[in-house]
Structure 1
Amino acid sequence: MGTYLSTPKTEKESEDGENERLKYGLSSMQGWRSSMEDAHAAHLDFDSSTSFFGVYDGHGGKEVAKFCAKYLHQQVLENEAYLAGDIGTSLQQAFLRMDTMMSRHCGKRELAILGEKIQAVESTQRELAKIADEIEKDPQGQSLRSTFVILGDEIEKTRRMMEDLISSPEHGEDNGVVDDCTLNNGPRCNLPGTRPTSGSTACVAIIRNNQLLVANAGDSRCVISRKGQAYNLTRDHKPYLKAEKHRILEAGGFVQGGRANGNLNVARAIGDLELKQNKSLPAEKQVVTANPELNTVELCNDDEFLVIACDGIWDSMSVQEVVDFVRKQLNTETKLSVVCERVFDNCIAPCVEGRSGCDNMTMILVQFKKPFDCTLEQPPLISYPDPPPYDPYSDSDWENRRRALVAARARDLD
């Protein structure tokens, strides 16, 4: 059934944690999708006064989301700006740093491991061997055997290339410089076909004392409940929105069917490196950028909890519906991961005929412990609205842009 299963996988992976400042619960569920491409990170004691939470919604594979869950928080923590107290700059640089790391040899090895590419190729080899054995036993199937031998040889070449990518030494072949993912500069890997083509949204919340800083790239969301009112602290980065579309067109791309270059339905994401190849532009101005939008909130005693979740939730429930649902559950349930699980049960579709309720689902629920040290009157929160519906007539110029892009690529090849 394409990208969907015949029956959903409703098993949930959940965890809970608590310290003197915060309490959190999280859960993830594959649902109707044929694979699980979400990942998350929760670090309650990021440092002595700080907590880190992140949701990463992958597309085209799980490896970029898992890469972010493994490394993005480390890059924030090690950043000079973070050590100097500038959380916003450290977050922005960490988001952009993910693409740099993944474009290097060591990053690509890590992506291959996280994406379990070697295991998939070896599994295919085993299945081919079984079929070949069956053909060997059937005299009428001998004519097909040579075809399977050729196919098996090609798969073996692929497996060896991937093993070489994973096991090769971390040195640039030309200059012997160590290709270390922790360095700001280093050699890039130019092996054919190794550019990461999958990507991931990223929605991160850092809480330090009574300050909340949110960084977002994509359409996952961070929502806060203040006295029962839902405030969406993040903007969905859709390609057809004016600011996003302007950047896409200026970078030589186009928007078709509401998608960047007719392919990706978000305008900001980590990974998707094939949409970040304009060498004359910085990372922030590529067709798709990992540059996050930042939002800072001074927390007060009216703030109850925070929800960070992928679009598998928001496609099924509005931000206010989620806040109302969570508040009701908290009247009787103290384990926050259970509340997340119940949100999934409320969202999942009974079948795949409809559009919503069929995606992977990941949610982190963070409950604030009180009181906060609020000495000043808090400014009113701004809640981002849902993006407007896609207008197909807004793409009237996409064909000209597509032709210009094809012509530019042809010139590059020359």
Structure 2
Amino acid sequence: MRTARKGSVEMPAFVRQLVKETEKRVSSFFKGGRGGAAEGEQQGEGEKEEVIPSPYLDRPVLDKLTEEGCARWGLTYALGSMQGWRANMEDFHNCVPQLGGELADWSFFAVFDGHAGSTVAQYCSQHLLGHILASGGIGPEDDPEKVKGAITEGFLQTDKHLHSVARREGWERGGTTVVATLISPYYIYFANCGDSRAMLCRSGQVCFSTEDHKPYSPLEKERIESAGGSVSFQRINGSLAVSRALGDFSYKGAENRTPSQQMVSPEPEVCVVERSPADEFLVLACDGVWDTISNEELCAFIHNRLRVCTDLRDVCTQVIDLCLYKGSLDNISIILLCFPGAPQLSTDALHQEAELEDLLESKVAEIYDELCARGEEPELLSVLTVLASTVIPGLPPGGGIQSKRNCIISAYYQQRDAHKPMVPNGLGGS
């Protein structure tokens, strides 16, 4: 696959200005964003107004972390993660394709999306699985109710131990959402705490997905208000954008209430789905993915990509680029798990992909020449704008023209290089 040149992605100026103005207005009422500085801070008379650094960069960090592996029972997986437009990388993950001992045919995967710092996400990525296994409810008998209870207990114990460590170490407040899956020989267990999401695709369709925990959801809002909080600007106390998370202890101080009854609950929603030979793939991803693409679109896109890509890391990279080009301003992390029934490489699909890329190259050349003929500067944005309004058959379902942007950018630079004036012999450099 062709890749874009570095620096080819820029945040539109009007978007950057809108983000900055919104930050300014919100921060004048609420310090910090999604779990920022403590609320209620007062400025002393004559003190300078506090300058809150922007959570966004002028250019995205496009370097990607990738990982791949497999389990002995036929599962293959890949991870892709990118900092993107965010000033800091706060996502972490844990991929354990084979648990040890009598659980050698079990697998565990999780994505941790930190906020107000990365410390909590990093800690939980290192300790959550251990607390789940230590609960004693997981064994070869694979009892769904016991396993679900063990997962819940593991989350609660992780939060409890995290609280002790945070007080001892003096960590700044912060938290993390978690979406995880525990796969046994007979079942797939899903655990979600926050607004990251898991999705299972079976027979080419979305079979199951977790529900996001947002403060404005009726049941979440009821718990928040019962614990003494409020929901404004779709956030807890106008500040935190998720209603369940590990950490965020400043939202967990209501007296005479259990941890699960606090404004921010550490209790995951745990679901179980019986495995099927028709299971194709499973996705775990942070909200940097789901903010820009629906379950159905991502299912269709990955299903299509698996027929032309043998490297799952490449598929993850294409999903990340798609979300970036569709406007995601967040860290982006995705884990793709493929079961034995996943779509396989197809000769017909590869032929169609090659035809599509040839078509896009020819379209870029036509647009470039037409702009030149009109005396206009054939800038990349101009070419992309014209191409976006052109009917292009055969684009990947769920991805559209954005999913082929790297191919388009590569074709553009080929045209630009081809149109550079030739330097007469002897008049150029050495």
TM-score (norm 1): 0.66
Q: 2:96 aligns with which of 43, 52, 56?
A: 43
> Are 2:337 and 1:366 aligned?
yes
* 2-structure distance, mates of 1:309, 1:8: 19
- What are the superposed Cα offsets for residues 68-102 of structure 1, whole Å, 9 maximum, x if unpaired? 11000111122222248522111101111122112
Of the two structures, which has the highest relative contact order with CA contacts closer than 8 Å and spacing of 6 or more? 1
Amino acid at match of 1:97: Q
Matched with 1:203 is 179
Contact 1:64/1:199 (<8 A) preserved:
yes
Amino acid at match of 1:81: G
Contact 1:72/1:98 (<8 A) preserved:
yes
Structure 1 residues 382-397: aligned runs within 5 Å? none
Contact 1:82/1:89 (<8 A) preserved:
no
Q: 2:153 aligns with which of 67, 90, 93?
A: 93
Residues 249 and 275 of structure 1, relative CA distance in 2, 3 Å threshold:
same
* 1-structure distance, mates of 2:149, 2:172: 26
Amino acid at match of 1:8: P
Q: 2:328 aligns with which of 323, 334, 357?
A: 357
* 2-structure distance, mates of 1:317, 1:358: 13
Amino acid at match of 1:65: A
- What are the superposed Cα offsets for residues 356-398 of structure 1, whole Å, 9 maximum, x if unpaired? 4111000000001259xxxxxxxxxxxxxxxxxxxxxxxxxxx
* 2-structure distance, mates of 1:39, 1:93: 21
C-alpha deviation, 1:232, in angstroms: 4.2
Q: Structure 1: 5+ residue runs without aligned partners?
A: 110-164, 167-193, 351-355, 372-414
Structure 1 residues 289-304: aligned runs within 5 Å? 289-304=265-280
Matched with 1:63 is 119
Q: Percent same amino acid at aligned positions? A: 37
TM-score (norm 2): 0.63
Which secondary structure does the structure 2 equivalent of 1:214 belong to? strand
C-alpha deviation, 1:195, in angstroms: 6.1
Matched with 2:64 is 12
* 2-structure distance, mates of 1:344, 1:262: 29
Q: 1:80 aligns with which of 129, 136, 155?
A: 136
Amino acid at match of 1:302: A
Which secondary structure does the structure 1 equivalent of 2:284 belong to? strand
Contact 1:9/1:29 (<8 A) preserved:
yes
> Are 2:283 and 1:307 aligned?
yes
- What are the superposed Cα offsets for residues 331-357 of structure 1, whole Å, 9 maximum, x if unpaired? 12122121111101111048xxxxx41
C-alpha deviation, 1:226, in angstroms: 1.1
* 2-structure distance, mates of 1:35, 1:319: 27
* 2-structure distance, mates of 1:30, 1:231: 30
**Pairwise CA RMSD:** 1.7
C-alpha deviation, 1:243, in angstroms: 0.5
- What are the superposed Cα offsets for residues 127-178 of structure 1, whole Å, 9 maximum, x if unpaired? xxxxxxxxxxxxxxxxxxxxxxxxxxxxxxxxxxxxxx65xxxxxxxxxxxx
Which secondary structure does the structure 1 equivalent of 2:57 belong to? strand
Q: 1:326 aligns with which of 278, 287, 302?
A: 302
Amino acid at match of 2:121: A
Q: 2:83 aligns with which of 30, 42, 47?
A: 30
Q: 2:204 aligns with which of 204, 223, 228?
A: 228
